[in-house]
Amino acid sequence: MVVFRTYHPTPPLSNFINIFWYYKSYKPPHEMERVLPDGSMELVINLEEDLIKVYDQKNQNRFKSFRGSVISGPHSDFTVIDTACQASTIGIHFKPGGAFPFLNISANELYNRHESLETLWGDKSGRNARSAS
């Protein structure tokens, strides 16, 4: 059974976070999906596998792997993600500028980039966030 839940936080988190989302047992008929740009930042944590893949837009044989979590900065173009390895995932969709208090990095520094949570918070903290989820 596929589970999909969303939660719109109340203040004070609602000042920074648009929505928390979670899905379990999601098995789409496609392995890749385009995510359109909207100027926001997203934290994605894979709850089953220690892997998240983000593909090259022009060559889907090339991709960048992240260990279990990824921060997607604001983008000016679509992103291609791997849906096949993300059957159970949780995420935070930040409001514009809302990620700064949690990540201590500006949206400018992550513009058109993806980074692992371990890179931003350090290896131990990044792994702990994933294992606590």
Note the pLDDT of residue 29: 85
pLDDT in tens, 99-115: 999 888 888 999 999 99
Note the pLDDT of residue 125: 59
Q: Report the alpha-carbon distance of residue 9 to residue 77 in Å, rounded.
A: 28
If pLDDT is split at 50, 70 and 90, which confidence band does 129 have? low
CA-nearest of 42, 100, 96, 94 to 69 is 42
What domains lie within the chain, and their CATH numbers? Answer: 3-132 (2.60.120.10)
Helix segments in the chain, DSSP class H: 100-103, 117-121, 123-132
Note the pLDDT of residue 86: 79
| pTM given for the model | 0.88
pLDDT in tens, 66-105: 988 999 999 999 999 988 877 899 999 999 889 999 888 8
